[in-house]
A and B are shown apart, each in its own frame.
Chain A
Amino acid sequence: AQKITQTQPGMFVQEKEAVTLDCTYDTSDQSYGLFWYKQPSSGEMIFLIYQGSYDEQNATEGRYSLNFQKARKSANLVISASQLGDSAMYFCAMRPNYGGSQGNLIFGKGTKLSVKP
């Protein structure tokens, strides 16, 4: 079964420090995409970063980087230089390739990040 596991229900980080949010996934597909989304209290799901299963380099987008370890099936999100506006729920998600499952996006339960001033 395809599944995303986020083991940290809540995390605290001091402003300006880096933080790592954990994500492990389970799939038998060879081709898949991994995504991280941010959801502030307003509710909108904001796309942060994408990693393809065949990408050899870790994805980076500004202060966000994805630590992709394929053999361990982990896709941790690293946020550098945390800001107060980073306080939100963070969701890891996986999308198998279309041929398998209609392109479903499978979400984890999320991690609530709180940035302390």
Chain B
Amino acid sequence: ETGVTQTPRHLVMGMTNKKSLKCEQHLGHNAMYWYKQSAKKPLELMFVYNFKEQTENNSVPSRFSPECPNSSHLFLHLHTLQPEDSALYLCASSQGLGAGGTQYFGPGTRLTVT
């Protein structure tokens, strides 16, 4: 049973659409993350939030816009995406940003951009 949920699980969108991915954690953590997992590539960290403040933007294009209204919720707003943005998007949370802060992941949203 996961303490991190993500919706939707699958999403197909056109390049001109606007959609949002939602992540919620029920673990009482204060840090949340977005990762992108493309085929044949290692997981790529996109954004990090700690106590609702963004602490990391890993050179992500502006067509991806994160939002963290509180420590339990994280959104990824999508607009004008490209086909190469098709991937599995994983959300994670942890208690703090230190070396021992285990990140727990949600089930992911599989995004297809047509």
Interface string of B34-70 (1 = CB under 8 A from A): 0000000111010010100001100000000000000
In the assembled complex, which residues on chain B have CB atoms less than 8 Å from the CB atom of A45?
A: 43, 90, 92, 105, 108
Q: How far is the CB of B14 from chain A (nearest CB, A)?
A: 23
Question: Contacts A43-B88, A50-B102, A91-B43 hold; do A103 and B107 have CB atoms under 8 A apart?
Answer: no
Chain B residues 88-114 with CB under 8 Å of chain A are 88, 90, 92, 94, 96-108, 110
A: contact size bracket? 20 to 34
In the assembled complex, which residues on chain B have CB atoms less than 8 Å from the CB atom of A96?
A: 99
In the assembled complex, which residues on chain A have CB atoms less than 8 Å from the CB atom of B105?
A: 37, 44-47
Q: How far is the CB of B82 from chain A (nearest CB, A)?
A: 21
Q: Which chain A residue has the least Cβ–Cβ distance from B40?
A: A109
Complex-state Cα separation, A27 to B107, whole angstroms: 29
Query: Does the CB pair B99–A32 fall under 8 Å?
Result: yes
Query: Does the CB pair A44–B108 fall under 8 Å?
Result: yes
Residue of A35, A50, A102, A108 with most partner-chain B CB within 10 A: A102
Question: Contacts A43-B108, A102-B55, A107-B43 hold; do A95 and B90 have CB atoms under 8 A apart?
Answer: no
Complex-state Cα separation, A35 to B102, whole angstroms: 8
Measured CB to CB, the residues of A under 8 A from B are 4, 31-33, 35, 37, 42-47, 50, 52-53, 91, 95-98, 102-105, 107-110
